[in-house]
Amino acid sequence: MPFPKSNPSLDRALADKGYNDPTPVQAAVLQPEAVDRDLLVSAQTGSGKTVAYGLAMASTLLGDAERFEAPREPLALIIAPTRELALQVNRELIWLYGPAGARVASCVGGMDVRREQRALADGCHIVVGTPGRLRDHLERGRLDTSKMRVVVLDEADEMLDLGFREDLEFILDATPEERRTLLFSATLPKNIVALARRYQRDAHRIDTLVENEPHGDIDYRALRIAPNEVEHAVVNVLRFYESRGAMVFCHTREAVRHLHASLIERGFAAVAISGELTQNERSNALQSLRDGRARVCVATDVAARGIDLPDLGLVIHFDLPNDHETLLHRSGRTGRAGRKGTCVMLVPYTRRRKAERLIDMARVDVTWAGAPTADEIRLRDRERLMQDPIFAEEATDEDMGMARALLAERSAEEIANALVKFHRARLPAPEEIVDAGTDREPRQRKDKRERTEERTRGFKDRGASEGGFERSSEDMVWFRMSVGRRNNADPRWLLPIICRLGHVTKKEIGSIKIFDRETKFEIVKSQAAKFASAVRKTNDEDMRIEPADAGPGKPGYGKGEPGKPRDAKPWGGPKGNGPKSSGPKSHGPKERSAHSARKGPPADKGPQDFKGPKDFKGPKDFKKSKDKKRSSDKRP
């Protein structure tokens, strides 16, 4: 349906911008029952709320007039939670109220306060700002609110979440009581409703969505990845979709710095946004995305609200959000104003349950899959090259002359090969990553007796022997780890490390044999290649994992035996779980006395056999010895 008539000047501005059909929230604020009343509005992100309250203010600010009078004291105040959103609102209102002769001033933290002071002193009709800076101008007497007719709180729930309640109350208390108060928010929790009751009079309620309803224009995907391949997955997702604009969300500033530097190094045109950057740096980053100089923006949640980037077709959650509302707000940066978008959640298998909980609470339909592989990306590159618009463009005489000259000197195959190389040279190389597992059904909770029976039945089916589970030697592959009894090796902390570094589960680990200087363990043959590939990427000098040359039952490397490998460096294990490292005397294991040193090295006692992960039932099975002997010297 066409836009309802509001004001001739605003109607011209909308027509010039190509606004033909209003969004639901824009149509709702122009209905007769909403005119000149306080409004409490909840609408999904990306639904055109800025234009909506711009239209809603017009009847109060202009009445029947088409133009404003000379600017003096401000008539309207818009409060936004972040600098980026305030500056975006400022730009929207400039074009919307431009034909009416409005002067719009911005007051946001991080910008030149003297320039803002001059703009307020020269007079303006509308002021847009953030709570902290607006309160500062009020306290210093630079902002006159005596003539205020309308106050708008944009993204009110976010302002309360960020701790701006006191500033908001100070600002609202400083404005005339007869003002209109328009409160716009993506969600309406109890604290927002309480704020509305206090500062609004007979507010008209507009709700254009079910609370926390997901975007219908966003395709949600959850990708299974290994914990140490999250960065590689970001690279492959960016390469697979090749969106003109993409935003990657991280939890911390440090993560933003690291990922931004990594993407730049790989050849992506990337910018960063976080709270540690100045406002000019953040504004330049967003402008780079808008004009196409940058294609990727790495940001903290400071950019999760209100920012509108027309060509943003992809959102990636590098770190999973803390709650489902943040998930929806982050994802809402794409799929705006009727455009389609894609939201990708990177889910390490250690965070699968959290991801499923977020998805259930957000009520979004998600497709689970593995991360795009290098081969899939190369195939997609080939399809994009074949469909490149350059082949459909009309050739000029100059282009045809150059083409004929090339054909005279080179064969068609050589020219095509050069085109492929030129196309590939400007694309970052995809990463080789491993699918972290297959899809599984949600876990069904079972009672205690069923779980006990399953564990007992599974153990009996496998059977236990001195060498581990009853599997033939052809079904298992041996690996060695460069930590042993001398490093206080213990299956309680070895098992989680093997699983984490090798991307396997306990079910895929067989026997574990601990020697003096090394530990040998079995991996199911079907997972051995994947395990070896994963540990190669994570090996370091303190602890190496590699295929074992010797089979089980070989004698351990006793002290003083010739031709044996050098002792592994003492390794502390994971923090809080492993043994103490042999560092300074105050922290390391107790040194042997001079009397015990004269007795010579202890004889190697041979390997200790552990029959598989099901034999280890927790710390209760490993009682501490009063004489402080190593726990690995005792058999389980």
| Predicted confidence (pLDDT) per residue in 243-281, tens digit | 889 999 999 999 999 999 999 998 999 999 988 888 788
Greater pLDDT, 276 or 459: 276
Tokens 């030149």, located at residue: 112
Average pLDDT for 414-438: 81
Half-sphere exposure of 359 (CA within 13 A, CB side): 22
Residue 349 pLDDT greater than 70, yes or no: yes
Q: Which two tokens stand for residue 141?
A: 């007497």
Nearest CA to 513 out of 604, 577, 606, 623 is that of 606
Q: Residue 323 and residue 314: Cα distance in Å, rounded?
A: 20
Nearest CA to 510 out of 554, 461, 475 is that of 475
Which domains occur in the chain, in start order?
8-207 (3.40.50.300), 218-377 (3.40.50.300), 464-585+602-633 (no CATH)
Residue 6 pLDDT greater than 80, yes or no: no
SS3 letters for 41-54?
EECCCCCCHHHHHH
| Predicted confidence (pLDDT) per residue in 481-511, tens digit | 888 887 777 777 788 788 878 888 888 888 8
| Predicted confidence (pLDDT) per residue in 84-128, tens digit | 889 889 999 999 999 999 999 999 987 889 999 999 999 999 999
pLDDT band at 437 (very low <50, low <70, confident <90, very high): low
What pLDDT sits at residue 598?
Answer: 43
Q: Residue 545 and residue 439: Cα distance in Å, rounded?
A: 28
pTM of the model: 0.54
| Predicted confidence (pLDDT) per residue in 507-540, tens digit | 888 888 888 888 999 999 888 888 888 888 766 5
